[in-house]
Amino acid sequence: MKEKLSHNLKLKIVAVLIAAGLWMISININDPYQSNDYSVIVQLQNMNIMTAAGKFVEVVGNTDEISVRVRGNRSVMEAFTVSNIVATADIKEMDENNRIPIRLSTVKTVGNKIESLRANEEYLTVKIENILRVQKNIEIETKNEPAEGYLLGGTHTEQNALNISGPESIVKNLEKAVVSVDLAGAKDDVSMLLPIELYDKEGRRIIDNRLTSSINEVQCVASILATKEVPVVLVAKGTEARGYGFNGQVLLDPEKIVLAGKNNVLRNLREIRVEDALDLTAAKANVSTKIDIKEYLPDNVILADPEFNGQINGTAIIEKEVMTEYFYDGEDIVIENLPKEYKAEIELKENILLLSLFSFGSKIETASLEQVRITVDMGLYMEEKDLTKLEEKTYVVPGIVQLPEGIWMETEVKIPVKITEISNQ
């Protein structure tokens, strides 16, 4: 048996090699080998270990993007895709230089049909930082102006703060979180869902996917108020010293103010009236006061000008009483509502009525005196005295005196009127 096996041994070995070569040639002709390159992203493993330790891991220089050359039979490679490649780097295997070896494999269905996998990089390099967490208030910025006659009353957000976390080198430079509201032409409240923008200490916007925010947008409301200019009315109270009087004039600075509020509130607002701030009791000279008009504004109404502090100066003009004697011509006295069966005649000494007229500050000018008018209403007199007819005699009837503004009398005018029946003439 041994002799048979060893007989022509060399020829047999040559025959085997030739057969193997022919088989390889046949394979390469019918299903040759080929190599394809694929771009693959390396997946970091066990990252939860670093997160739990408060560390942020960042891949340096895109070393997680590698090129993998795969070699296999054409029949296999024609169906092979990048999704068949598994590239991983386990954080547990990181060395002192923050390098992590890259491990390559394929999915089970093709693993035994691939001759080789080779990556252009052996290691993935990472940068390790502390994770920093901060809370920032959400600031509201506005742009453009509301419609003419309207202004911004105030702004607020549904949530006023957010939490931000990320690499310490980025988070420590975070200055503010902002939403921007456009008020262009607004006449009503503006309410919208707005993105939250982050800015660093240099005023540059931060857009970085390494940052994590508790919220990325927030509902914001801007209150829009109408405006209206109204006068201020300062009412004087109290009695001046004897011989002095308030001439009715109150000097105000400013005299008018611009208010802001909702249209339904401002619509019926005509003035701001102050009745408890100007006391003239026993005054012999001008009385001044200062009021904070904000204390007298209706609910939900504010001052439109943010630079106006609401302080208003008021001065009541106090003047000394001056008496002027005026000789009124009896011919100018008008008799009214006299029954037709009577005639009346004013009986005045020398037909002159002496009037004591009072004013503030100075004697009454002639032009004002000429505006004085006196009438005698006989019908009113008979009604007040319950008279149905008149006798032929002289009645002393109250005169109705019309005086110019700023002039008054302190006593009633009595006018003698002689009555005669027409039928007896």
Domain boundaries, position 212: 130-225
Task: Using the 3D structure, point to which of 121, 151, 171 is the last residue of a domain.
Answer: 121
Q: Is residue 189 part of a domain?
A: yes
* Whole-model pTM over 0.75: no
Asked if the structure places residue 196 within a domain, the reply is yes
Q: Are 173 and 220 found together in one domain?
A: yes
The string of pLDDT tens digits covering residues 256-278 is 999 999 999 999 999 999 999 99
Across 281-300, average pLDDT: 94
Q: What is the signed CA dihedral for 225, 226, 232, 235, rounded to 10 degrees?
A: -70
Q: Which two tokens stand for residue 192?
A: 């919208």
d(CA 55, CA 166): 9
- Mean pLDDT score, 94-123: 88
pLDDT of residue 344: 92
Residue 24 has pLDDT above 70, yes or no: no
pLDDT at 287: 94
Q: Band the pLDDT of 7: cuts 50, 70, 90.
A: low
pLDDT at position 234 over 90: yes
In this prediction, residue 113 carries a pLDDT of 77
| Structural domain contains residue 325 | no
Phi and psi of 16, rounded to 5°?
A: -65, -45
Q: Is the pLDDT of residue 167 over 80?
A: yes
What is the structure's pLDDT at 9? Answer: 64
Confidence grade of residue 15 (pLDDT, cut at 50, 70, 90): low
35 and 23 assigned to the same domain: no
User: How does the average pLDDT of the chain come out, rounded?
Assistant: 90
**Are 158 and 220 members of one domain?**
yes
Q: pLDDT band at residue 186, thresholds of 50, 70 and 90?
A: very high
Long-range contacts of 183-187 (CB under 8 A, 24+ apart): 183/142, 183/143, 183/144, 183/145, 183/146, 183/152, 183/222, 183/224, 184/143, 184/144, 184/145, 185/144, 185/146, 185/147, 186/146, 186/147, 186/150, 186/222, 186/224, 187/146, 187/147, 187/150, 187/224, 187/226
Q: Say yes or no to pLDDT of 20 above 70.
A: no
Residue 265 and residue 217 share a domain: no
**Last-in-domain residue among 165, 191, 225:** 225
- Tokens of residue 139, six digits: 């600031």
State how far Cα 118 lies from the chain centre.
62
Position 326 in a domain: no
Retrieve residue 71's tokens: 């070699």
209 and 148 within one domain: yes
Indicate left, alpha or beta for 203 from its phi (over 0: left) and psi (-120 to 50: alpha): left
Q: Are residues 388 and 378 in the same domain?
A: yes
Higher pLDDT, 21 or 104: 104
* Among 187, 183, 181, CA closest to 148: 187
For residue 272, the domain's CATH number is 2.170.120.40
Domain termination site, one of 225, 250, 283:
225
Total Cβ atoms within 10 A of residue 240 = 21
Half-sphere exposure of 223 (CA within 13 A, CB side): 14
Do the domain assignments include residue 327? no
Domain count, the chain: 5
pLDDT of residue 405: 85
If asked whether residues 74 and 155 sit together in one domain, one would say no
- State which H helix or E strand residue 400 sits in: strand 400-402
**pLDDT (average), residues 196-200:** 96
Alpha-carbon distance 222 to 340, whole Å?
76
Contact partners, residue 153, CB within 8 Å, separation at least 6: 223, 224, 225, 260, 302
Domain contains 290 = yes
Residues 261 and 217 in one domain: no
Residue 3: the pLDDT is: 56
Is 162 in contact with 138 (CB distance < 8 Å)? yes
